[in-house]
């Protein structure tokens, strides 16, 4: 990354066209990198019916905003999204390209990188610029260790960013130059298209945006006891999550799974009920602002990352906590 080069950052729209929570983190990451290198932030927001949301998102730190609003971009299908990202890179000529580490981003970022012959570091949680060379930090071995990837030489460096790694930028701090990017899509780019979206369920569909997530593990003993988790989540006005062990046992649907092979969430409050704290689960929620762990085992690994720990019988603690939350919230 040469001094003065720009950072191109991609924002991603949810089904309703609003920016996904990670999109606000992306602008924070891009702004930090651009300031370190003395460059600017070029933001790309693509999707269908997203122009107004894109303009608001761009004010959270972008210097220049490219809006690709086209029905053919609904759902960020990999081939079409990769084509638009490649087009934006040709236009902006950035030194660094940051893509959300979402299901869609992990699909189209490698395609775009291959098309331009760029290196790609996946699932990054931090960046630095030393003597003009970009370094990216990413977890490896299931989060047990971290590695640093360097991008020497010319050409753009590309990376996908793990959700929960950066603070969410606030709109209204910049007034970017807004430009329309007309997607130059070929027939091959449209081989896959979005026909329909079906909500996964009230709890699971809200996990990405929920400010409070209450998750349950095998400590609940049997699936019927998840009613305790649901009641506490309802009292908070939050969403329900689960560990992989619970999902694999058939207690909860897969879309509620949080962890390395499930969803990554970064709520203001994460309540872990009967969860031991295996590293595979922790990597999916350790970006929460505050973590409350409820477990009767004082040596449970979850307490090592918890902001507050309650050692006790969850069947006594959770109903009492639910009642207090309901009273506090009226």
176-198 confidence digits (pLDDT tens): 999 999 999 999 998 887 777 76
- 3-state DSSP: the chain helix, strand, coil percent, rounded to 5? 35, 25, 40
Question: Is residue 91 within 8 Å of 66, Cβ to Cβ?
Answer: yes
Helix (H, G, I), strand (E, B) or coil at 272: strand
| Six-digit token string for 284 | 């999916």
* Residue 142: per-residue pLDDT: 65
At 203, is the pLDDT very low, low, confident or very high (cuts 50, 70, 90)?
A: very low
192 or 297, which is more confident? 297
Same domain? 12 vs 128: yes
Q: Nearest-CA neighbor of 113 among 160, 162, 74, 181? A: 160
Question: Is residue 101 within 8 Å of 163, Cβ to Cβ?
Answer: yes
- The enclosing domain of 66 has a CATH number of 3.40.50.620
The mean pLDDT of the chain is: 90
* Residue 202: per-residue pLDDT: 47
Same domain? 177 vs 253: no
| Six-digit token string for 116 | 């331009």
Q: Which domain holds residue 228?
A: 204-328
Model confidence pLDDT, tens digit, residues 49-73: 999 999 999 999 999 999 999 999 9
Model confidence pLDDT, tens digit, residues 87-143: 999 999 999 999 999 889 999 999 999 999 998 999 899 998 887 788 999 988 766
Q: Does some domain include residue 304?
A: yes
Domain termination residue (choose one: 190, 220, 255): 190
pLDDT over 60 (residue 204): no
At 231, is the pLDDT very low, low, confident or very high (cuts 50, 70, 90)?
A: very high
Domain termination residue (choose one: 155, 190, 225): 190
* Residue 158: per-residue pLDDT: 95
Same domain? 26 vs 101: yes
Alpha-carbon torsion, ordered 83, 88, 89, 95, to 10 deg: -140
- Give one DSSP letter per residue of 39-65, joined into a string: --EEEEEEESS-HHHHHHHHTTT-SEE
H/E stretch holding 67? strand 64-69
Same domain? 117 vs 42: yes
* Residue 284: per-residue pLDDT: 86
At 224, is the pLDDT very low, low, confident or very high (cuts 50, 70, 90)?
A: very high
pLDDT over 70 (residue 213): yes
Q: Does some domain include residue 109?
A: yes
- Rounded to two decimals, the pTM is 0.73
Tell me the sheet residues that pair with 127: 136
> What's the number of domains the chain is made of?
2
Task: List strand residue ranges (DSSP E) for 101-187, in order.
Answer: 120-124, 126-130, 133-140, 145-151, 157-161, 177-180
Same domain? 234 vs 179: no
* Residue 88: per-residue pLDDT: 96
Same domain? 40 vs 181: yes
Q: Nearest-CA neighbor of 13 among 92, 61, 71, 94? A: 71
153 backbone dihedrals φ, ψ, rounded to 5°: 90, -175
């Amino acid at each position: 990354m040469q001094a003065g080069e720009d950072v191109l950052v991609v924002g991603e729209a949810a089904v309703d066209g609003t920016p996904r929570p990670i999109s606000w983190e992306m602008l924070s990451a891009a702004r930090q990198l651009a300031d370190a290198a003395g460059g600017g932030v070029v933001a790309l927001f693509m999707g269908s019916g997203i122009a107004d949301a894109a303009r608001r998102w761009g004010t959270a730190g972008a210097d220049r905003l490219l809006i690709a609003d086209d029905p053919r971009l609904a759902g960020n299908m990999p081939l079409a999204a990769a084509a638009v990202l490649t087009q934006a890179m040709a236009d902006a000529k950035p030194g660094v390209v940051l893509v959300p580490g979402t299901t869609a981003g992990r699909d189209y970022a490698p395609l775009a990188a291959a098309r331009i012959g760029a290196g790609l570091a996946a699932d990054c949680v931090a960046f630095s610029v030393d003597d003009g060379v970009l370094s990216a930090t990413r977890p490896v071995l299931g989060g047990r260790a971290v590695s640093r990837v360097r991008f020497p030489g010319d050409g753009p460096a590309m990376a996908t960013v793990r959700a929960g790694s950066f603070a969410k930028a606030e709109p209204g701090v910049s007034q970017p130059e807004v430009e329309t990017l007309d997607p130059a899509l070929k027939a091959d780019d449209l081989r896959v298209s979005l026909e329909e979206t079906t909500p996964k369920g009230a709890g699971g569909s809200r996990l990405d945006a929920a400010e409070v997530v209450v998750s349950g593990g095998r400590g609940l003993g049997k699936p019927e006891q998840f009613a305790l988790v649901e009641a506490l989540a309802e009292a908070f006005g939050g969403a329900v999550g689960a560990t992989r062990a619970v999902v694999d046992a058939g207690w909860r649907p897969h879309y509620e799974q949080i962890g390395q092979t499930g969803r990554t969430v970064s709520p203001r409050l994460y309540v872990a009920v009967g969860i031991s704290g295996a590293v595979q689960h922790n990597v999916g929620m350790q970006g929460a602002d505050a973590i409350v762990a409820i477990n009767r085992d004082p040596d449970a690994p979850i307490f090592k990352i918890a902001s507050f720990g309650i050692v006790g019988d969850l069947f006594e603690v959770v109903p009492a906590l639910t009642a207090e939350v309901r009273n506090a919230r009226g």
